[in-house]
Amino acid sequence: MNKTIRRASVFSLLLVLALLVRATWVQFYEGRALADDKDNRRNAIETYSAPLGNIIVGGRSVTGSAPTKTGDLRYKRTYTDGPLYAAVTGFASQAYAPTQLEGIYTDLLNGTDSRLKSVLDTLTNQRAEPGNVVTTIDPGVQKAAYDALGDKKGGAVAVDPKTGKILAVVSTPSYAPSSLTDANTAGSAWKKLTTDPDKPLVNRALRQPLPPGSTFKLVVAAAALEDGLYSSVDERTDSPDPYTLPGTSRDLTNENPNAPCTDATIRTALEYSCNNVFAKMAVKLGQDKVKAMAEKFGFNDDALDVPVRAYTSVYPSDMHPSQTALTGIGQFDVTATPLQMAMVSAAIANGGKLVSPHMVSQITDSGGDVLEDYDDAGSKEIVSSSTAEQLQSAMQTVVSKGTGTNAQVPGATVGGKTGTAQHGENNSQVPYAWFTSYGKSDSTGKEVAVAVVVEQSNAARSEVSGNGLAAPVAKAMMQAALKD
């Protein structure tokens, strides 16, 4: 073989080897990335080639699958009572990325989760039968919250204080997840939902932190009792009315000018929602102690998964004392979700211990065998049992004869706290109405903790209050949760 032929042969061999190396690289190293690419239609074809697994509420599937009439996507997602459960399920769409539980458990629901595969599935590389997601949601509590919120814009959460099970997650206005499932019609529905000024796709229960107003006074009171600043909720405080914010000439007044807020006890200050008491209390404690207590309840936690990741509720840092005073009444830069404020009431109701909140009980395979159980949730002590008992007593006073009387439930012991948070520059917009509470059945001992925020309603500005708008929603939820 002459030199020219030998060189050409070697060069050709090198080209073949390079091609083999490249093919191996693409197939084994880049293949996964190509398969997972959102623009790879084969993924959608595979996902919707068979019915999906289901999300279970109260022993009943609130999701399903239906055959399509045209196209290469053989099935589409369906929903039972879709708007009622949208804040729980989210949506699974042929055109858009799934959300909420549909998104978190995509692999389980479409059968690609490795835990679902049998030996035969593994050998044949076949997709397994899909699994199911069993939620902790109580359909009665969910519906009570949804109906009570009605056409108001807001969110609500209910939690079992002893188990951490989330019994309701409601956000209004809601939307129909089924409008987004079919690729042929999802585009127009998506445009309508994303341009709606009321933002129905926003989960206000878990992902809309807003100023919590006077409901945050429970956190400040807990800090004061735990710190020893006051020995009991019935010890008088040193609280002038009005209270001049430190370093300013601005007087902080109370909504009710006739309320007995001068040097009021914590019980009286919660009963009448005295701003002067808690503003001065926050300053006297100092921002670090208030922040530490807020963080024990869950504020500033940027990884709160239930398993949907909740947006962070915030207690700020590096403030002027006048700003610290405003945080004492749930203003300045303090924000909270209904989930966060339900956690505050749940910890107080449970003797000072907070059980990790969760809205999925189990995930199972198609035959019902449990793959993972979430009901053995951990807990941590937030405040002492003595502090919790005193706060329970003071919260009961709020509901029995204070600012939260609209939350009274016959046959149950109820404690709560109202809140009306300023909205807009110089409170130029309609305030937010809050209510957080716990209830315990006098006959069965069943317990529930709830939090409600009404962001906007048809009520006149003068009628906006936690007791007027949010407390009736909380009452409906507690009645549903506590009924025998």
Break the chain into its structural domains and give their ranges: 213-362+375-482
Which pairing describes strands 429-441 and 447-456: parallel, antiparallel, or unpaired?
A: antiparallel
Mark whether 231 is an active-site residue.
no
pLDDT computed for residue 279 by the predictor: 98
Question: At the topology level of CATH, where does 213-362+375-482 sit?
Answer: Beta-lactamase (3.40.710)
pLDDT computed for residue 464 by the predictor: 82
CA-nearest of 82, 52, 53 to 67 is: 52
pLDDT computed for residue 303 by the predictor: 94
pLDDT computed for residue 39 by the predictor: 56
> For every one of its 484 residues, what pLDDT tens digit does the chain have, with 9 covering 90 and above?
577 777 777 777 877 787 777 776 666 565 555 455 555 567 778 888 899 999 999 999 999 999 998 778 899 999 999 999 999 999 999 999 999 999 999 999 999 998 998 766 666 667 889 999 999 999 999 999 999 999 999 999 999 999 999 999 999 999 999 999 999 999 999 999 999 999 999 999 999 999 999 999 999 999 999 999 999 999 999 999 999 999 999 999 999 999 999 999 999 999 999 999 999 999 999 999 999 999 999 999 999 999 999 999 999 999 999 999 999 999 999 999 999 999 999 999 999 999 999 999 999 999 999 999 999 889 999 999 999 999 999 999 999 999 999 999 999 999 999 999 877 666 667 899 999 999 999 999 999 999 999 998 877 666 789 999 999 999 999 999 999 7
pLDDT computed for residue 459 by the predictor: 76
Distance CA 6, CA 410 (A): 98
The CA-atom distances, in angstroms, between 314 and each of 141, 297, 311, 399, 429 are 28, 11, 9, 27, 22
pLDDT computed for residue 70 by the predictor: 79
pLDDT computed for residue 104 by the predictor: 97
Tokens of residue 118, six digits: 């049998």
Number of H helices, E strands in the chain: 17, 16
Give, in degrees to the nearest 5, the angle at Cα 456 between 156 and 329: 75
- Which is catalytic among the residues 93, 179, 214, 345? 214
Distance CA 396, CA 404 (A): 9
At 213, the amino acid letter reads G
Burial class (CB in 10 A: 0-12, 13-18, 19+), 247: exposed
The CA-atom distances, in angstroms, between 224 and each of 219, 236, 265, 461 are 9, 13, 12, 33
pLDDT computed for residue 117 by the predictor: 80
Tallying the residues shown for the chain, one arrives at: 484
Give 154's strand partners: 172, 454
pLDDT computed for residue 327 by the predictor: 98
Give, in degrees to the nearest 5, the angle at Cα 203 between 192 and 295: 150
pLDDT computed for residue 426 by the predictor: 63
H-helix or E-strand spanning residue 168:
strand 166-172
